[in-house]
Amino acid sequence: MSKVTVVGAGNVGATCANVLVCNQIADEVVLLDIKEGVSEGKAMDIMQTANILGLNTRLRGVTNDYAATENSDVVVITSGIPRKPGMTREELIGVNAGIVKSVVESVLAHSPNAIIVCVSNPMDTMTYLIHKVTGLPKNRIIGMGGALDSARFKYFLSLALGANANEVEGIVIGGHGDTTMIPLKRFAAYRGIPVSTLISGAQLDKVAADTMVGGATLTKLLGTSAWYAPGAAAAQVVGAVLGDQKKLISCSALLDGEYGEKDLCIGVPCILGRNGIEKIVEFDLNAEEKALFAASAAAVHKTNAALA
């Protein structure tokens, strides 16, 4: 029996719970929120699709009752205030740090062996904060951002190629920020064919630029942060862990010398399985990519300093 808790029943958390249920990724899902009735209502709404869709996963919503999350295998943390138009992810640090710290302490009191998936922004810094306040082994704390950024990269690549998004490969590393993420254009491929041989350099540069501001673009259009892709990306990470899938997914991981960095959570290619982050894969970056990664890491270090 597998159990997942999603903390935060806002747009992202509820979407994550919905994907977990619809794809039957876990046997039981608990959706928790501090606002009375929200998680219960969304859970009820989702579960009323069970008969229509032939679903067997059980979902229940609770208000601030961490006892209900007991013995969770994975806990997804989406808590915190979302971005508004014009805001950077980094501007959320003050409020969200306190929320995330409190949530982590509460969930670990009831599920001390859980693997934590952090979605809250600024995601790399919140993932780092979880490491600092819990002291958990680094394999058990996963920042979701790279999974989302890579999905957006593949979406924009598919548009430029006129291709099926499922047949496009692309990965984004670096910080989960509009100026810090690094779409690895050199590694992008369509059915094994380098994308750089299929579209022009200018087109590929535009794909990368659109990827980097993908979240800000949606925030401007929607008036708040996106939720369908972020929620699905979080569920993808959970599925890779619970299913012991050994999938290579870009995630924010604590580095200890990898990519030349230490004491930093930042997006890198990771093999995800039942033990969480089972391996960090080091791509052979060229000089330009290494310089971009170093600049991204410096920016994340700077944001982390605001936690002090």
Catalytic residues, by residue number, are: 176
Find how far residue 145's CA is from the centre of its chain.
4
**Quick one: tokens of 57?**
């996963």
Report the C-alpha gap between 35 and 55 in whole angstroms.
Answer: 27
Look at the alpha carbons of 117, 123, 128, 129 in this order and tell me if their dihedral is positive or negative: negative
The total of other beta-carbon atoms located within 10 Å of residue 23's CB is: 15
Find how far residue 214's CA is from the centre of its chain.
14
Contact 115, 74 (CB under 8 A): yes
**Quick one: tokens of 137?**
């082994």
Angle between helices 228-242 and 11-22 (to 10 degrees): 50
Q: DSSP for 242-258?
A: HTT--EEEEEEEEEESG
Give phi and psi for 199, each to the nearest 5.
Answer: -130, 165
CA triple 176-181-187, angle to 5 deg: 130
